[in-house]
Every structure is written in structure tokens, then in C-alpha cells.
Amino acid sequence: MGCRGPIRAAGPAQALGLLGEEPDARAVARFLRHCPGLSKVTIGELLGENEDFYLEVLDAFTDTFDFAGASAGSCLRMTQTYLAST
């Protein structure tokens, strides 16, 4: 498995015990989606990493949305509210 680098973005949350000792992709994804005040750029950079763990986080992050019955444009707008690219 790839580097456990998400800790660099979620380090404070892990230090507070919000993600557990060994955070899994789903825990990191839920944190990224629901924690107010996180930088959209940081979230976008994290989800854009091309390493196994980050790809698992990306899958888990998209699973946090309910896209049922939504158009492609609506789905993009839903996710775009949480992300920013550099």
C-alpha cells in the first residue's frame, strides 16, 4: 500500500484522536467531507494524489455523496463545493 501521507493533511485530527491510530480510507474521507474549515485546495490536492491509499480515499469520498437520479452536471456541482484545484 502507498504512503500513509493523508496524515500530513489530517495530522491535527489524528492527534486529537478523531481518526484513530491507523486511519483507514473511509475515516479520512468522512473527515474531509464533514469537517468544517478545511482548505478546499488541500482536500483537492489530497484526493488528486496518485497513490493507492489516496485513491482509496477518493473512492470513499465519492461514496459519501448521493448521486442517485442526479444529472452529471449536478454531480459535478455537488463535489465541486468541497474541492478546489490549484
Fold assignment, 6-80: Annexin V; domain 1 (1.10.220)
Per residue in 6-24, pLDDT tens? 445 556 566 555 666 667 8
CB 23 within 8 A of CB 7: yes
More confident residue, 38 or 1: 38
Q: Domain map of the chain by residue range?
A: 6-80
pLDDT of residue 5: 47
Q: What are the CA-CA distances from residue 10 to residues 35, 39, 50 (Å)?
A: 10, 11, 18
For the stretch 22-79, pLDDT in tens is 678 888 888 888 888 888 888 888 888 898 988 999 999 999 998 999 999 998 888 8
CA distance 86 to 31: 21
Model pLDDT, residue 9:
54
For residues 29, 31, 37 and 38, what is the CA-based torsion angle, rounded to 10 degrees? -40
